[in-house]
Amino acid sequence: MSIKYIQEYLAPQMQQVEILIDYCLRSEIGLLDATNRTLRERPGKMLRPMLSLLVAGACGTPTRDSIRFAAATELLHNATLLHDDVVDGATERRGRPTVAQLLSGPAAVLIGDFWLTRAVQVVLSADKYSERVLHVFAATLADLSEGEMLQLQKAAQADTTEEEYITIIFDKTASLFETAAVSAAISVGASEEMLEAVKNYARKLGLAFQIKDDIFDYAPPSKELGKPVGQDLKEQKITQPLLSALSSAPTQEEREIRSKIGQLADHQEVIPQILEFVEKYHGVEQAAGVMDSYINAALQSLSILPDSKEKEALTALAHFVGDRNS
């Protein structure tokens, strides 16, 4: 089953999600409304609402609330992107200038806040379970903030461990995958056993997704990528390919590389040396192995779900995360 088949299979429901998102983003403020419409012209992969809808179908019969919660996860996701671009000083997103670049950092933060508020309002509009799901979203918001702060702290210190890295990528990425799945399962009244299964699946899928993204930072340049290659290094972020290489190197060499990472703010000319180090110790290949282990764990979590097209699609989605080129 291909990702294209999944998109076609979900098309009627995804259309409802898209209509709801567009409706939520309307504003009488001309600049805000025009910016939102521009952002919606290139919505990205819509992976989180796809995950949400598949989980709803795998655990029961999707409801109007399934559509609402799927839309809310996408609104929240894009709110975080708007905020992240300000934090990271990013000038491009999905091949276009960021809102922060076009308008200003404060404008991007305010627009992100608008999307976030709309996500909360969509959850509160649910026919059932709104309070329960709101708690799930609130926990994710806390995770997102803590993950961003931990990443900033560790970038300054250049001492990120593998455990801290996993905490960061759970908080910043996998937590929202988890929320997409859990809210969907709640929307169809899934059993606790099913809910726990899809929660574990989504968590592992989200971790694998972010590791794949981090591998791209060491990949050859490609027009398909959403960020420039080497951007993480420029921001002193220690991710899985570098961590894998560091764990394979002799202690003295590891210390030398970490020292160079600590100097990156003022000495970006050392980046080629760090890239050579990662290549020398096969950091990308090792990171791919870590990613595959999370994908396999995600797939194992699906074993208790009854056979269905949605379960088959969730399996295909996990493989897509590992195989994607952008």
Predicted local confidence at residue 97, as pLDDT: 84
Tell me what the mean pLDDT of segment 253-259 comes to: 88
For residue 85, pLDDT over 90 is answered with no
pLDDT range class, residue 103, cuts 50, 70, 90: confident
pLDDT at 272 over 90: no
Q: For the residues 21-40, what does the mean pLDDT come to?
A: 91
Distance CA 33, CA 257 (A): 47
- What pLDDT score was predicted for residue 223? 45
Which span out of 38-42, 98-102, 161-165 was modeled with the highest average pLDDT? Answer: 161-165
Among the listed ranges 35-44, 104-113, 218-227, which one has the minimum average pLDDT value?
218-227
Q: Residues of the chain with pLDDT > 70: what percent?
A: 96
Checking if the pLDDT of 222 tops 60, the result is no
pLDDT band at 227 (very low <50, low <70, confident <90, very high): low
**Full residue range of the structural domain in which residue 278 is found:** 3-323
Pairing outcome for strands 96-97 and 92-93:
antiparallel
**Residue 229 confidence (pLDDT):** 61
Give long-range contacts, CB 8 A cutoff, 24+ apart: 130-138: 132/186, 133/69, 133/183, 133/186, 133/187, 136/179, 136/182, 136/183, 136/186, 137/72, 137/76, 137/179, 137/183
Helix (H) / strand (E) element for 200: namely helix 192-216
Q: How many domains does the chain have?
A: 1
**Bigger pLDDT: 21 or 221?**
21
Once rounded to an integer, what is the mean pLDDT over residues 92-107? 82
Average pLDDT, the chain: 89
- What percent of the chain lies above the pLDDT cut of 90? 63
Q: Degrees (nearest 5) of the Cα angle 122, 207, 133?
A: 25
Contact 201, 302 (CB under 8 A): yes
User: What is the pTM assigned to this prediction?
Assistant: 0.90
Select the more confidently predicted residue: 225 or 187. 187
pLDDT computed for residue 225 by the predictor? 47
- CATH number of the domain within which 136 lies: 1.10.600.10
For residue 307, pLDDT beyond 80: yes
